[in-house]
């Protein structure tokens, strides 16, 4: 077993290949996609000596298990989880050397939602439109991992990095999202605009890579006319007919027909990626915290 590849032993609830996404194609109807928690995926790459844009594995809630076919250095970041190597404890948040044929397993997230597994050399899945990211909405990129799948690894380009402390903020106990006015804020009543920035919502279990759905008070519309489909951006806060705001994440559609009341600042979306169902959510006016 000397080829640079790994086999999937346990795919988990949803494990996908992600890099920094495919920017510049929204006019073609293609969202950016990419790792939802970009700081965590970038940190994993840094720990194994990769470039920041190398492809990693993004797990969801219950981790995954893989068997490299070659000796390789790996690192796990994002949602804290138990890491084992052939059943023995291994480090989280640090470079780990894995022998060819050994089984590396990421357990369920202790806090947060998504963990990131980087391999030295990166996951060398075939790029589509300049990215190796799995886009769940469009179907572009490699399919989500399945048991028994084999994926290639790239060539090593740098040395691993060892650190006493990690520059990464853990999953939020309360998700605070800074929001600016959206293009259709005038389609909502003054009471709705006040409710958005004063009420407490909670993360819905229906959230996914497309959008963070919320549970809480409905936002009342002042305009009830039909809205033609229009462009959507990362962080857009769209309000569907039930009145509960939805924050668009990496796999969001590029157009939509429901009004956008606000837009969340992009730096806050990494925390949104780690907010587990039930996490309290507050929207605050941009410029305040």
CA atoms within 13 A on the CB side of 100: 9
Least confident stretch, 61-65, 150-154, 200-204, 252-256: 252-256
Domains of the chain: 5-152 (no CATH), 175-285 (2.40.100.10)
Give the Cα separation of 172 and 208 in Å (integer).
17
Res. 273: pLDDT tops 60: yes
pLDDT, tens digit, 9 for 90 and up, residues 168-201: 677 888 999 999 999 999 999 999 999 999 999 9
Whole-structure pTM value:
0.94
Q: What is the pLDDT of residue 289?
A: 52
Give the Cα separation of 106 and 288 in Å (integer).
37
Res. 263: pLDDT tops 60: yes
pLDDT, tens digit, 9 for 90 and up, residues 55-65: 999 999 999 99
The answer for 9, left when phi > 0, alpha when psi is -120 to 50, beta otherwise, is: alpha
Q: Residue 1: which pLDDT band, with cuts at 50, 70 and 90?
A: very low
Q: Residue 51: which pLDDT band, with cuts at 50, 70 and 90?
A: very high
Give the Cα separation of 247 and 214 in Å (integer).
8
pLDDT, tens digit, 9 for 90 and up, residues 226-248: 899 999 999 999 999 999 999 99
């Amino acid at each position: 077993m000397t080829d640079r590849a790994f086999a999937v032993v346990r795919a988990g609830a949803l494990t996908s290949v992600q890099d920094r996404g495919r920017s510049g194609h929204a006019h073609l109807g293609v969202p950016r996609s990419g790792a939802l928690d970009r700081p965590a995926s970038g940190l994993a790459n840094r720990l194994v000596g990769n470039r920041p844009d190398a492809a990693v594995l993004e797990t969801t809630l219950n981790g995954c298990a893989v068997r490299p076919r070659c000796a390789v250095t790996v690192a796990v970041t994002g949602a804290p989880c138990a890491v084992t190597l052939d059943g023995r404890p291994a480090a989280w948040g640090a470079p780990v050397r894995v022998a060819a044929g050994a089984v590396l397993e990421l357990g369920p997230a202790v806090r947060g939602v998504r963990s990131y597994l980087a391999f030295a050399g990166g996951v060398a899945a075939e790029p589509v439109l300049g990215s190796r990211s799995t886009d769940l909405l469009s179907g572009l990129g490699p399919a989500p991992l399945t048991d028994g799948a084999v994926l290639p690894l790239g060539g090593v380009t740098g040395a691993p990095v060892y650190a006493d402390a990690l520059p990464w903020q853990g999953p939020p106990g309360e998700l605070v999202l800074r929001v600016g006015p959206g293009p259709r804020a005038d389609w909502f009543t003054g009471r709705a605009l006040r409710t958005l920035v004063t009420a407490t919502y909670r993360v819905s279990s229906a959230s996914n890579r497309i959008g963070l759905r919320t549970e809480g008070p409905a936002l009342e519309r002042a305009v009830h006319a039909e809205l033609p489909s229009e462009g959507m951006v990362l962080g857009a806060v769209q309000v569907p007919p039930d009145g509960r705001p939805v924050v668009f994440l990496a796999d969001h559609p590029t157009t939509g027909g429901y009004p956008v009341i606000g837009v969340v600042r992009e730096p806050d979306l990494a925390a949104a990626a780690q907010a587990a169902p039930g996490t309290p959510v507050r929207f605050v006016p941009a410029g305040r915290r």
